[in-house]
Structure 1
Amino acid sequence: MLRMMGRSPHRTGSDVPAEITTFVGRRRELGEARALLSSSRLVTLNGPGGVGKTRLALRVADQARRAFPDGVVVVELAEVRTAELVPHTVALASGLLDDPAGWTAETLAERLASRHLLLVLDNCEHLVVPCALLVRRILARAPDVHVLTTSREPLRIAGEHTYAVPPLPVPTWAEGSRAADLEQYDGVRLFLDRARAREPGFTLTEATAPHVAEICQRLDGIPLAIELAADRVRALPVEEINARLGSRLRLLTTGDRSASARHQTLLASIAWSHDLCTAPEQLLWARLSVFPSSFVMSAAEAVCSGDDLPSDDVVDLLTELVEKSVLVREQGSEARFRMLGAIREFGHQRLADSGGIAAVHDRLVGWCAQLATAYREGWFGPGQQEWSRRLRREHQNIAAALRFALDGRRPARAMAIASDLNLYWVTAGLLSEGRHWLRRGVEESEPGTPGRATALRWLAYLSACLGDVVDVPRLVADARSEAGGEPEPADLGYLCFVEGIAQLTIGESYSARTPLAEALRLFARTDDFVGRTHVLLSYGVTQWLCGELDSAQELLRECLHVSGIHHETTLHSSSLLHLGLLLRDVGEPAVAEAMVLEALQLKTRCDESTGQAMCLDALAWFSVADDPRRGATLAGCAEAAWRRSGASIERVGALRRFRAASLEHLREQLPERVVDALMTAGAELSTTQAFAYATGAPAGGAGRDLAGIFEPLTEREWQVAQRVAEGLGNRQIAGRLAISPRTVDAHVAHILTKLAFGSRTQVAAWVTERRRSTQA
């Protein structure tokens, strides 16, 4: 009786507002949020402004209302400005009669003690402390009350489960994409739904689809931003909306007039978040906006500290920005952070207004210069793959630093960075981009500028690799002039190497021999193993093309040896490829195919698209005689890999003749329509599928991280173990890997010790099991 009396008259059932617009997508998020709510009494939906926290919370509450006999109470806190009014606002929404003593967290919790309801507190971020105090009291005194909150930062109280509301999935428009494929993405579906509400005749066509996809992608899948963009279709075609998105904040300035002020425009929503940050957090927000891509903590500390922001404070401030949904921490083993595009644009405007943008740009250039130097010094060795992966993750930040340096009239710094990354441009298939930065640096610098000779050399090299050899002699001559009267042997060696590559590119193999032989002589006087290994590979290929097979085999095996003892991968795999091609020529097809398959594995692991294309073309050539259908499919795989790489087989003289011979042989054995169909099928395979097809591994296993297969062995020990499993003796393994028998003896001893095995049979069984586990 006393409990009933304590319950003031209140509404039962659901107090969830009816939806006015269509609820699009979010099936996975709905399921995950409801599961959390069923197992926890306090769930907070986190995310940046406009990501859809409120809509998701209301839909979750509506679906869960039957589990709460006393219904759902929704409390909108956006317009509440003082902490004292929070309990009053909740009491009013709950239908409680006014308390003569006024509402406090304690009295409200007491009055809700007998209720079994779901309390939804919407938009808590500006009142996070009073909301936390109130919720803590309610959870303690009202055991049947569950609380669902939306906020840009957590309440941070015991028992809270947070759920980060992600942006909507959006597509990337690529070659072969179709308009019909886009509507599977929630971001596109939302755009179409809102656009058709404004312009009923709006349709998605093959012409408009790329623009719609890019609009959704450039808006990072943020529902508010997508809705505001869709609102423009009545006045602007999607092509123009897309073109104007260079400044998101200026374009997306209209919205639902009935919505709260901070949700009527994207700018207002972001400004609301900005106002909730402390002055140091706002300063870090502005400075972090110079990163166009994700970044690591050490980069933030190096680039954003200084002046009135100590380096030691960056970690804590960055953590707060993550908590307030200004930053997103990306999933993965490495802690990387990023800003959504509109949030970054807002911060960049604040940075520009502050007058401190030049200093932050300068620090980003300095950080990228240190990274590029470390890459150059660390690339040739066992850390090569990790360096390649790291540079790919930092690519957009490096490009921004190069742009800042050149726009700031500091070409020497830009040339130093671009030169140090010369191997990155090649292995990542970014030859044109590397040449762009080097060319700008050279053109915008005066003769005698430090680093200009090196930049000219690598500009000539990338031009030769791209098949544009017209300017190579002039660039090499300019580099010699810049180097002065007594250049170092390594500098001269690289120039000779570039001259040889230029001759190879245009098919003048005999002309390439002299400069490459001179380069090899010069590098023999240095400890530059990078240059020496490059020349050994190129000279070996040249001798093969010239018919000097013994010399070619000697050079390529020496390249395998040097790269092998340094645990290098890129040049090692290229040596395997070309030695395999040579051995095929001299009548050792089984050994040749094994070498090329190993090269393909290494190229795939390192994500070297040009190298993958070359290996696939070689395997296609190997297959055309015995299995023409397989050869045609592999030729199609190779064509797709060449397209992905941005390079062309026409620039690789060593393979041009194989491609022509392959296609000619295929069309002699199969009808042309069959060849075309098989090549088309091969071209449609992904990188993972192409690898699986070429190696005979299941597609599911091919997509895994290949680097983990040989742990706890080193990569070289794994290579030895594989050959032990094939039944080869140590001398045979030494010949296959182009290393000494004594080195193989040491590797086998290390393998047995690491694996705690007593026989080679156990090693073979272990290798077989490892291969099987990666294919499962």
Structure 2
Amino acid sequence: MGQSTHRSDGGVLPAEVTTFVGRRHELGEARKLLSSSRLVTLTGPGGVGKTRLALRIAAQARRAFPDGVVLVELAEVRSAELVPHAVALALGFRDEPSGWTAETLAERLAQRHLLLVLDNCEHLIVPCALLVRRILAHDPEVHVLTTSREAMKIGGEHTYAVPPLPVPTWEVGSRAADLVRYDGVQLFLDRARARLPGFVMTETNAPHVAQICQRLDGIPLAIELAADRVRALPVEQINARLSSRLRLLTTGDRSASARHQTLLASIAWSYDLCAKPEQLLWARLSVFPSSFVVSTVESVCAGSGLAADDVVDLLTDLVEKSILVREDDAGPEARYRMLGAIREFGHDRLVESGDLHAVRERLVEWCSRLATGYREGWFGPGQREWSDRLRTEHQTVASALRFALDGREPAQAMSIASDLNLYWVTAGLMSEGRHWLRRGVEESEPGTPGRATAQRWLAYFSFYLGDVGVVPRLLADARAELGPTPSPADLAYLYFVEGMAALTDSDPHGAQAPLDEALRLFALCDEVVGRAHVLLGYGVTRWLCGDLASAQDLLLECLFLTGQHVESTLHSSALMNLGMVIWDAGEAAAAEAMVLEALRLKVNDEEELGQAMCLDALAWFSVADDPRRGATLAGCAEAAWRRSGSSIESVGALRKFRDASLEQLRARLPGPVLASLMAAGAELSPTQARDYAMRVQDGGDGQKDQAEMFLPLTKREWQVAQRVAEGLGNRQIAGRLAISPRTVDAHVAHILEKLAFGSRTQVAAWVIERLRGARA
């Protein structure tokens, strides 16, 4: 028959010839299922360790089964009719004169109390399911544990998806002591020492071991095959050669079944078990470098033999066959992903099919639509949703940009990268944005559509990243691209970038003329995003030029404009900058309240650049009264600047405040104390830094002063009034404070009545005056 079987009389299972590593959680969960269900199926991709886990579970559960544990290995069984024969042989039953069937086997198992382990059922899933269903119905004391790349889908079945082993992420340091606690690393070390006695993970090779385990997605078979290479290659070279997992990992345990001797053979086994449409979708899904959703797959993978209406069913089939993994914490819309080696196998099939170029083109087109939607929808109430979506799709966007440029389509790449200009800034990815824009500009000819816009944003990012010298040339080239009659909006943006770049100088007066012209031009066109940007930048410029009153007017106008559109990022920046202006005017308490609220919004929006600026400002505010707090906040700010990819040096006129605060700290704190406090601040996460900065708001003596500040309003009415001053409508206030719009309506009516005001503008003026008059 060709099958390989093992009899396990009295619970004797094949001896383990290598160390069993990790899986404590999985063992516990699977044993719980087995204690409450008579049929448990362990599912997962090839090489993830289903068989090994099943054998360990069976060994631990042996005492619960008086008639023992029986293992049936089905990998080499090729015929559905031979499945009952394989089980009978493993059980030690003699031949039936009429041959073994599900019915005769079930009859012979009557009165037996045992655990039947069916290993590798995926290629015979239907006959296995029919057999198991018959046994469960006829033999109440028989329990079944199966391993398969897909579930049997029969009544009473409980499935458990075996995950890859835990491996380090990029956040883990390179120290060996940090890495050995990961099961994936432990497995690599165990197998490497078996092949090369004396192998040691040192501080030098530890990062390479960690990256090997990461790149192999924690798949035990892949890790074992990589560890097998240590006899011939140092781990540094193994890591370097893992750019193709499948080509490197081509040898293994010769005593294992053929499909488990190499990772390639294991994945090919799964591929051969898929129907043609499933194989086609598997290949096309390989263009996604990370997770994806159904609608994206329908846009990118459908066509040329694959109907969009079939995508959902095919995705479900691939999940059930352990080709795809559904992410549990993906939110309301299901997201799916492939393990790296499975994706690489699919890519090879896509190349063989000749569809690679067409699928990549559809991915670029999808990304172009996404970027356009982001540009059009970002400035409004959907801003957070758009930002979250772009962060989730980041790797796919990067792949699409690379495909466009490699496919000699720089216009598409420049359009996408330009439309995402605010994403690159707010996500702290300006260096990456500049990379794509620069490639697009360098690889395109003059006159290419979108080239002027790309040059403009390239100049903007260069200014923020400290490369100011290239800005004049880029702006001049962009102006030349626009021709003799540029639109007011295009011209306004050029003046805006020119003005912002001028702020790098210690004398900000040079920024006034271009920003003033940009503001005038934006007033001629319906471009609220550009106008909000200029109001923000011009407000800072007027402040740095010493005109505090004009600065406040510009920033208040920005607050009202952004509040009217329910926008958050520029709104919080205006609030932050207004706080700095008020602080410079000597109104410390009001300034701190504004900047703390801005910081809260920046952390909520995950905007690194804004967090850095808020924390720096709060550090300046604290130096005089609490130098230790100021030093800690300065450390928080330094870490935030690093995460943002920018520096306060990009606005030279602001350096004087940072430099003055550091000079005061050095004068008031001993050097080691200052260094320790700043280092402690730098260790805080964004959320921890926010909480540290905002602790002055919690209890203490400050509460009495705050209560006096908002009389005759209640505390909640004061909170509503502050949001009114920020320019928010009632529904937006309700969202911010997590209360109903009807409650906000009532609060606003009470505020107007108590203050004897007739408009929201009067309320806003009253709030700002109160904040100005507050004293620490």
Tell me which residue corresponds to 1:115: 112
Distance between the aligned counterparts of 1:749 and 1:609, measured in 2?
25
Tell me the SS of whatever aligns to 1:73: strand
1:31 matched residue in structure 2: 28
Structure 2 residue corresponding to 1:725, chosen from 712, 715, 728: 715
2:630 is the alignment partner of 1:634: no
Structure-2 change in CA distance of 1:482 and 1:49 (3 Å): same
- Give the 5 Å matches for 1:505-524: 505-524=504-523
Q: Which amino acid aligns with 2:585?
A: V
Q: How far, CA to CA, are the matches of 2:583 and 2:351 in structure 1?
A: 61
User: SS state of the match for residue 728, structure 1?
Assistant: helix
Letter in 2 for 1:255: G
Residue ranges of structure 2 left out of the alignment (5+ in a row)? 1-6, 699-709, 752-776
Task: Give the aligned partner of residue 493 of structure 2.
Answer: 494
Q: Residue 509 of structure 2 aligns to which amino acid in structure 1?
A: Y
SS in 1 for 2:635: helix
Does residue 1:695 correspond to 2:694, yes or no? yes
Verify the 8 A CA contact 2:505 2:653 in the aligned structure 1: no
1:475-523, Cα deviation, whole Å (9 max, x unpaired)? 1111111112221111111000010111113334110111000000000
Amino acid across the alignment from 1:737: E
Name which of 742, 748, 761 aligns with 1:753: 742
Distance in 2 between residues matched to 1:412 and 1:749, nearest whole Å? 44
The alpha-carbon distance between structure 1 residues 132 and 506, as it changes in their structure 2 partners (threshold 3 A), is: farther
Mapped partners of 1:125, 1:744: distance in 2: 55
Aligned residues of 1:77 and 1:124 also touching (Cα < 8 A): yes
Which residue identity is paired with 1:90?
Answer: V
The answer on whether the counterparts of 1:12 and 1:69 sit within 8 Å (CA) in structure 2 is no
Cα separation, partners in 2 of 1:639 and 1:729, compared to 1, 3 Å = closer
- Give the equivalent residue in structure 2 for 1:212: 209
2:426 aligned residue: 427
The 1:752–1:431 alpha-carbon spacing in structure 2 relative to 1, beyond 3 Å, is closer
Matched, 1:400 2:399: yes
Query: Quick one: which amino acid aligns to residue 249 of structure 2?
Result: L
1:584/1:592 contact within 8 Å kept: yes
- Partner amino acid, structure 1, of 2:220: P
**What is the distance in 2 between the residues matched to 1:281 and 1:511?**
62
1:15·1:74 contact (CA, 8 Å) conserved in 2? no
Note the 1:123-272 alignment, pairs <5 A: 123-174=120-171, 176-272=173-269
Instruction: Show the counterpart of 2:49.
Output: 52
**CA drift at 1:207:** 0.7
Per the alignment, residue 571 of structure 1 pairs with: 570
The separation in 2 between residues aligned to 1:646 and 1:740, in whole angstroms, is 34
Query: Which residue matches 2:756?
Result: none
CA contact under 8 A between 2:720 and 2:748: conserved in structure 1?
A: no
TM-score norm. by structure 2 comes to: 0.90
**Could you say which residue in structure 1 is the equivalent of 2:702?**
none
- Once the two structures are superposed, residues 298-327 of structure 1 have per-residue CA deviations (whole angstroms, 9 ceiling, x without a partner) of 111111111111111111111111111111
Number of aligned residue pairs: 730
1:411 Cα deviation from its structure 2 partner: 0.9
Q: Deviations over 1:330-375 (max 9, x none)?
A: 1122311111111000010111111111100100000000000000
Tell me the secondary structure at the aligned position of residue 505 of structure 1: coil
Whole-Å separation in 1 of the counterparts to 2:443 and 2:27: 55
Give how far 1:758 is off: 8.4
- Aligned partners of 2:91, 2:535: CA distance in 1, in Å? 80
Q: Does the 8 Å CA contact 2:9/2:68 hold for their aligned counterparts?
A: yes
CA 1:741–1:227: 2 relative to 1, 3 Å = closer
Q: Which residue of 1 aligns with 2:326?
A: 329
* 1:746 Cα deviation from its structure 2 partner: 14
Give the conservation status (yes or no) of the 8 Å contact 2:616–2:633: yes
Distance 1:618-1:135 versus aligned 2 partners, 3 A rule: same
Contact 1:326 1:339 in 2 (8 A): yes
Is the Cα contact below 8 Å between 2:462 and 2:471 reproduced in 1?
A: yes
1:725: how far off? 2.5
Counterpart residue number, 1:702:
none
The TM-score normalised by the length of structure 1 is: 0.90
- C-alpha distance in 1, partners of 2:439/2:723? 48
- CA apart distance, 1:646: 1.9
Q: Which amino acid aligns with 1:448?
A: G
Deviates more, 1:132-141 or 1:745-754: 745-754
Partner Cα separation in structure 2 for residue 731 and residue 143 of structure 1: 69
- Residue type of the alignment partner of 1:466: L
Deviations 1:698-734 (A, max 9, x none): 99xxxxxxxxxxxxxxxxxxxx9xx963553977764
Alignment partners' CA distance in 2, 1:732 and 1:350: 59
Q: Which residue of 2 aligns with 1:365?
A: 364
CA spacing shift, 1:408–1:587, aligned 2, 3 Å? same
Q: Which residue is 2:102 aligned to?
A: 105
CA–CA distance in structure 2, aligned partners of residues 490 and 543 of structure 1:
23
Other-structure match for 2:704: none
- The alpha-carbon distance between structure 1 residues 303 and 729, as it changes in their structure 2 partners (threshold 3 A), is closer
TM-align CA RMSD: 2.5
Kindly indicate whether the alpha-carbon contact (under 8 Å) linking 1:173 and 1:210 is maintained by their aligned counterparts in 2. Answer: no
How far did residue 95 of structure 1 move?
Answer: 1.9
Question: Residues 541-552 of structure 1: matches in 2 within 5 Å?
Answer: 541-552=540-551
Counterparts of 1:150 and 1:133, CA distance in 2: 16
Q: How does 1:427-466 map to 2 (within 5 A)?
A: 427-466=426-465
> In structure 2, what is the Cα distance between the partners aligned to 1:608 and 1:745?
23
For the residues of structure 2 that align with 1:745 and 1:20, how far apart are their CA atoms?
63
C-alpha distance after superposition, 1:54-104 (max 9, x if no partner): 111111111111111111111111010000111111111112222222111
3-state secondary structure, aligned to 1:102: coil
Cα distance in structure 1, aligned partners of 2:471 and 2:484 = 21
Answer whether contact 1:524 1:532 (CA < 8 A) is retained.
Answer: yes
SS at match of 2:403: helix
* 1:748–1:336 distance in 2 versus 1, CA, 3 Å: closer
Q: How does 1:550-565 map to 2 (within 5 A)?
A: 550-565=549-564
Please tell me the residue identity of whatever aligns with 2:501: A
Contact 2:613 2:637 in 1 (8 A): yes
For 1:344 and 1:743, locate their aligned partners in 2 and report how far apart those are by CA, in whole Å.
43
Identity of aligned residues (%): 73
* Matched residue, 2:85: 88
Q: Which amino acid aligns with 1:562?
A: L
Paired with 1:744 and 1:306, the residues of 2 have a C-alpha distance of: 46
| SS of residue in 2 equivalent to 1:337 | strand
* Cα distance in 2 for residues equivalent to 1:355 and 1:730: 61
